[in-house]
Structure 1
Amino acid sequence: MTVERTVPRGILGFPVTPMNEDLSINYDSYQKNIEFLIENGLNSVFIACGAGEFHAINDEEYEQLIIKAKEVVQNRVPIYTGVGGKITEALKQAELSAKHGIDGYLILPPYLITPSQDGIYSYLKTIIESTQLNAIVYQRDNCVMTLDTLKKLAEIPQLVGFKDGIGNIETNVEFTQALGDRLAWINGMPLAEVTMPTYLNIGFDTYSSAISNYIPFASRQYFDALLSGDQEKVKQLYEDIILPIHNIRKQKQGYAVSLIKAGMNIVGLPVETHVRPPIAPVEQNHYNALADIIKLAKEKYAEVSGGK
């Protein structure tokens, strides 16, 4: 089997997993979330990852999320899944992804243990080599790599990308200088728009966007302005949208997920604010503050790009 060893670039879409009041998954809303991302120009979808409450999804739901995503995507953009946690579960998720012809997967950190470098290497290598699908490693939490570890992993052809969620710029410069275009470099920091200017300067030309789930026009205008050197537009978007949302997100652990659902609910997408424990829903005062930011974003920026 010949596999195209490419990875999506630019702004990556990370749909949520919408929940009903009883915390069952609302697959109809999930498919509408994915369609919204594609309609608004995101060139890939990463399902059942951090924003999709990967930690709280069982095996049956995981497979259904894959099936429902393929139904709506219809080969228009690449689909990546999240795999990780316990090694046995990660291998099962990788197998399911291969079974359903997914393009690749993002490898999330191992469960609980903070491993040694040879342990991290073994964990990632085992998952990467378990299928012929493209793999992206995600540096965060219990999975922090040295340059030597990443170099060894880069010898495996299935590895196509590196996503950073730690924010150690010195280390990231070492990585990009040593490996160059061998990997796609993805900014995976919370609300990645905040740090993207720094990441872009060291070779990271791609990022995952939480706000694209509800105000994709803002993320698109921001990235276009950044790439074109329009510093005044970047500054305006920081002041009006990005930093105010970032400040709300910092108020509570778990808002990296629940704040996305709140934003989608505010703009009228069919997504309720329900989240599975241990994540908590957004508090009403923070919900109201986010609504004010979104109102300003629509008034000031949506018409420019025909945004929804």
Structure 2
Amino acid sequence: MIMHKTSPKGILGFPVTPMKENGEIDTDAFVMNVEFLLESGLDAIFPACGAGEYTSLDTQEYEQLVKLCVETVAGKVPVYTGVGGNIQEAKKRAEISEEQGADGYLIMPPYLIKGSQNGLYEYFAQIAKTTDLNAIVYQRNNAILSADTLARLAQIEQVVGFKDGDGNMEKNSEFSHRFTGEIDFLNGIPMAEVTMAVYMPLGYESYSSAISNYIPHVSRKYFEALKSGDKETAKEIYEDVILPLNRIRVKGEGYAVSLIKAGMEIVGLPVGQTVRAPIDAVSPEHFKEMEAVLKTVLEKYPNEIYEKYTAKIT
């Protein structure tokens, strides 16, 4: 039975996949990450997606993470998994998501190939129709949709949302005007807080927040300031937090993932910095830069929630 023709609204949490030094998944740390996001008030949890190093997970690991996440969330907020890449693997993981009780999935771009518009339609449509779960289409890199292609996808009952990771605001404006009321719109630009002030007037009511893994209270404060029109607070947080962190993020390939783990270590959340190739860990130089930024951030924007998860905040 199809669930709901709607997608999660608000700040979306994308937990990392913590790994031990030998490369094995640290399930205890993963559960802690999910619990931290829940207690911090995130509006949905998206395990095993980009931030969770989806492309490096085998099927058994994927199923384990989805199962743990659904059990930990226990219905408090929606759980959307990541599927994509190899289309046959994506269909299998969609089925796993349904079997494990997820609410839906985010369909990420196909592996390597840049398809035609009809080819992209078939890719997203076939995966979306694999189960009765809600599906969100993720536009990014080699999967850039035309308005006509999105119109076709919006007619599929399972497709409830469109997530943009491309940043073409002319196209985003066209999409949001043309399809408002048919599907929901999500901001999926890496470190989406950088662009949310521009996306929100177009009707993008949700965004994936990388920094919510380590400073969720700041992301929430910024989001609420944008919604309420508190320009002074939004500007202050943008300059104090968002821009400094984003300047570090763009210094390294793969930092959209590894910088999250570094940030979590800095604030005392034990997930480690181990990542899987081709992602590389944050360099010592950039780690120190991030330490300095977060020290200032936590002095100005303290949060008692950390005390529950760590005895000491660096």
Alignment TM-score, normalising by the size of structure 1: 0.98
Q: CA deviation at 1:307?
A: 5.3
Q: CA deviation at 1:133?
A: 0.2
Other-structure match for 1:203: 203
1:112-161 CA-to-partner distances (Å, cap 9, x unmatched) read 10000000001111011111000000000111100000000101111000
CA contact (8 A) 2:2 2:157 kept: no
Other-structure match for 1:256: 256
CA RMSD of superposed structures (Å): 1.0
Match of 1:5, SS state, is: coil
Other-structure match for 1:168: 168
Q: CA deviation at 1:298?
A: 1.0
> Residues of 1 paired with 2:101 and 2:235: CA distance?
42
> Residues of 1 paired with 2:231 and 2:35: CA distance?
31
Aligned pairs for 1:146-165 within 5 A: 146-165=146-165
Other-structure match for 1:34: 34
> Residues of 2 paired with 1:185 and 1:20: CA distance?
36
Residue type at the aligned position of 2:189: M
Match of 2:282, SS state, is: coil
1:263-290 CA-to-partner distances (Å, cap 9, x unmatched) read 0011111110010000000001111111
Match of 1:98, SS state, is: helix
CA contact (8 A) 1:176 1:203 kept: yes
> Residues of 2 paired with 1:8 and 1:169: CA distance?
22
Residue type at the aligned position of 1:102: A
Which stretch of the first structure deviates more once superposed, 176-185 or 273-282? 176-185
Match of 1:302, SS state, is: coil
Match of 2:38, SS state, is: helix
Aligned pairs for 1:277-292 within 5 A: 277-292=277-292
Other-structure match for 2:51: 51
1:214-266 CA-to-partner distances (Å, cap 9, x unmatched) read 00111011111111111111111111110000000000110000000000011
> Residues of 1 paired with 2:305 and 2:165: CA distance?
28
> Residues of 2 paired with 1:291 and 1:218: CA distance?
16
CA contact (8 A) 1:29 1:270 kept: yes
CA contact (8 A) 1:134 1:159 kept: yes
Aligned pairs for 1:1-308 within 5 A: 1=1, 3-302=3-302, 306=304, 308=306
> Residues of 2 paired with 1:87 and 1:238: CA distance?
38
Q: CA deviation at 1:110?
A: 0.4
> Residues of 2 paired with 1:204 and 1:185: CA distance?
5
CA contact (8 A) 1:91 1:130 kept: yes
Percent same amino acid at aligned positions? Answer: 54
- Once superposed, which parts of structure 1, at least 4 consecutive aligned residues long, lie more than 3 Å away? none
Residue type at the aligned position of 1:263: G
> Residues of 2 paired with 1:150 and 1:118: CA distance?
11
Alignment TM-score, normalising by the size of structure 2: 0.96
> Residues of 1 paired with 2:227 and 2:38: CA distance?
21
Q: CA deviation at 1:73?
A: 1.0
Q: CA deviation at 1:181?
A: 2.0
> Residues of 2 paired with 1:36 and 1:134: CA distance?
25
CA contact (8 A) 2:213 2:264 kept: yes
Q: CA deviation at 1:296?
A: 1.1
CA contact (8 A) 1:63 1:96 kept: yes
Which stretch of the first structure deviates more once superposed, 229-238 or 162-171? 229-238
1:22-72 CA-to-partner distances (Å, cap 9, x unmatched) read 111001000000000000000110010000000100000000001111221
Aligned residue pair count: 306
> Residues of 2 paired with 1:74 and 1:215: CA distance?
23
Gaps of 5+ in 1: none
Residue type at the aligned position of 1:184: D
CA contact (8 A) 2:19 2:271 kept: yes
Residue type at the aligned position of 2:265: N
Gaps of 5+ in 2: 307-314
CA contact (8 A) 1:218 1:302 kept: no
